[in-house]
Amino acid sequence: MYCATPFASLAYMPPPVPEQLSRTIETLYRTESGRVLATLVRLLGDLDLAEESMHEAFAAALESWTLAGIPENPRPWLISTARFKAIDAIRRRVRLDEAQRDLVAHMESRANAASTGYEEIGDEEIEDDRLRLIFTCCHPALPPEGQVALTLREVCGLTTEEIARAFLLTPAALAQRIVRAKAKIRETPIPYEVPAPQELPERLDAVLQVIYLVFNEGYSAASGAEVTRAELTGEAIRLGRLLAELKPEASKPETPEIMGLLALMLLQESRRAARTSPTGELILLENQDRSLWNREQIEEGVSLVEKALKSRRFGSYTLQAAIAAVHAEAESVAATDWRQIVALYNQLARIQPSPVVHLNRAVAIAMRDGPEAGLTHIDAVLEHGELANYYLAHSARAEMYRRLGRTAEARSSYEKALALTQQEPERKFLQVRLLQLK
């Protein structure tokens, strides 16, 4: 039985109390599991084995760090410990084929080197591992729903329950998607690598969609006590930067939309500090203190939007970023160029005619032409039925009724929205709106 610790070259903090350690490990899992898993997949060549050994490493940390303290850099400790756990798992198998024996020998030689001189894995190498894992999970041999579910689970560390809520599925159904995708990777087999330049176009759309969904879950959490989840928005922005750093000759045909998505995320994230009060209450855009907006992120986002638009090869992410840029550059809601925003939504609706895009366009029309016009468009969207259980649609409708002084209808729509939302700050906001109507 191998032991992955202690390493003489590691510095440790004093042993924490059990409750503090449990919280620390939980936080580490949320922020580091994607990086740890990506590197383990490269080292082990097996997604299931990598995931199993990673979980065992986090469990081992609870026991080891209680006595020895937490390493100053826990991520390499977790990677190395998981690698030892994987060696043990392979050795426990009753029969080993030739490939498995070679893998054990290779891993043991690296593990022995690590035990005497701790093998440090650099941040740049870990980020490359994550990019490879993203493209593996988004391989065209996998069905689109499997690509998204697997990447959100394995690369970004979302739980099965969180992903299921985002797709309006049961956790069991979502878990089956992930199981089938893993089996396809194993049986095909799908290579663990960044695709060649000629393969990028068919692979990039799924990758961009996954990053976009991760950011959305962080920007407006599907449930819970907080409006935002900074670890997810930060993770999505890091992944966007990884894509943007692909070699120019490989990414040139797709660069505008990579820039557009990165710009969109930066511009939306720039408002995070102003979106909630110190006690966690939701603050609408019209009431936000714009001095709290992150000007550095806004400047970078606007610059990326301008470059993407100049290419004239942009798509939906760039158009959404352009809308966010108009908001970011306005001094107030009243000073916002709503005509330009409606024009951008018109163009976005032509290339991405989704119900949510039409809903957002309706709200922009209300800001340009008044609540009566907005209500007409919102009702038209709701009549199609796709957003019948989307709380923001009913909340937007209630807001139109409130502005028109139609109190009874406003109350009914707010109550529908309240029944549908699972996010606590949103619930409190809607409850306040209902009280204000009384």
Annotate 164-198 with DSSP letters as a single string.
HHHTT--HHHHHHHHHHHHHHHHHTTPP-SPPPGG
Specify if 264 maps to a domain: no
Specify if 159 maps to a domain: no
Distance CA 132, CA 285 (A): 38
115 residue type, one letter:
S
Specify if 187 maps to a domain: no
Return the minimum-mean-pLDDT range out of 22-26, 83-87, 152-156, 266-270. Answer: 152-156
Q: Which two tokens stand for residue 165?
A: 């809520």
In this prediction, residue 8 carries a pLDDT of 35
Q: Which of 71-85, 131-145, 230-244, 284-298 has the highest mean pLDDT?
A: 284-298
| Contact yes or no for 315/258 (Cβ under 8 A) | no
Distance CA 44, CA 90 (A): 10
pLDDT at residue 114 greater than cutoff 50: no
- Report the helix count and the strand count for the chain, using DSSP H and E: 20, 2
Average pLDDT score over residue span 395-406: 96
Tell me the average pLDDT of the chain: 84
pLDDT at residue 173 greater than cutoff 50: yes
Domain hosting 112: range is 18-121
Q: How far is CA 39 from the centre of its chain?
A: 19
Average pLDDT score over residue span 420-435: 91
Average pLDDT score over residue span 302-318: 92
Number of domains in the chain: 1
Q: Greater confidence, 355 or 124? A: 355
In this prediction, residue 101 carries a pLDDT of 63
Look at phi and psi of residue 312 and say left if phi exceeds 0, alpha if psi is from -120 to 50, else beta: left
Average pLDDT score over residue span 370-399: 95
Return the minimum-mean-pLDDT range out of 137-146, 190-199, 351-360. Answer: 190-199
Specify if 53 maps to a domain: yes
pLDDT at residue 191 greater than cutoff 90: no
Q: Greater confidence, 9 or 353? A: 353
Average pLDDT score over residue span 274-299: 93
Strand partners, 430: none
Specify if 2 maps to a domain: no
> pLDDT tens digits for 51-86?
999 999 999 998 899 888 888 889 999 999 999 898
Specify if 297 maps to a domain: no
pLDDT at residue 129 greater than cutoff 60: yes
Strand segments, DSSP code E, in 283-388 are: none
- 17-22, long-range: CB within 8 Å, 24+ apart, which pairs? 18/66, 21/62, 21/65, 21/66, 21/70, 22/62
Give 122's pLDDT tier (boundaries 50, 70, 90): low
pLDDT at residue 118 greater than cutoff 50: no
Q: How many residues would you count in the chain?
A: 438
Q: What is the pTM of this model?
A: 0.75
Task: Kindly list the distances between the CA atom of residue 111 and the CA atoms of 1, 12, 49, 101, 188, in Å, as whole numbers in the listed order.
Answer: 12, 21, 17, 15, 30
Distance CA 140, CA 218 (A): 26
Specify if 52 maps to a domain: yes
N-terminal to C-terminal alpha carbon distance within the chain: 69
In this prediction, residue 97 carries a pLDDT of 60
pLDDT at residue 152 greater than cutoff 70: yes
402 residue type, one letter:
R
> Alpha helix locations (H) across 45-197?
47-68, 74-91, 98-117, 123-137, 144-154, 160-166, 171-187
* Cis bond before residue 18 (omega within 30° of 0): no
pLDDT at residue 6 greater than cutoff 70: no
Distance CA 158, CA 150 (A): 10
Task: Kindly list the distances between the CA atom of residue 145 and the CA atoms of 138, 150, 161, 271, in Å, as whole numbers in the listed order.
Answer: 10, 9, 15, 31
In this prediction, residue 349 carries a pLDDT of 96
Nearest to 250 by CA among 187, 204, 303, 298: 204
Q: What are phi and psi of 120, to 5 degrees?
A: -85, 130
Q: How far is CA 309 from the centre of its chain?
A: 25
Q: Which two tokens stand for residue 88?
A: 């043990």
> pLDDT tens digits for 86-97?
888 887 764 556
Specify if 76 maps to a domain: yes
In this prediction, residue 5 carries a pLDDT of 38
To which residue do tokens 């203190």 refer? 289
In this prediction, residue 303 carries a pLDDT of 96
Average pLDDT score over residue span 373-382: 97
Interior angle at CA 258, CA 255 and CA 259, nearest 5? 85
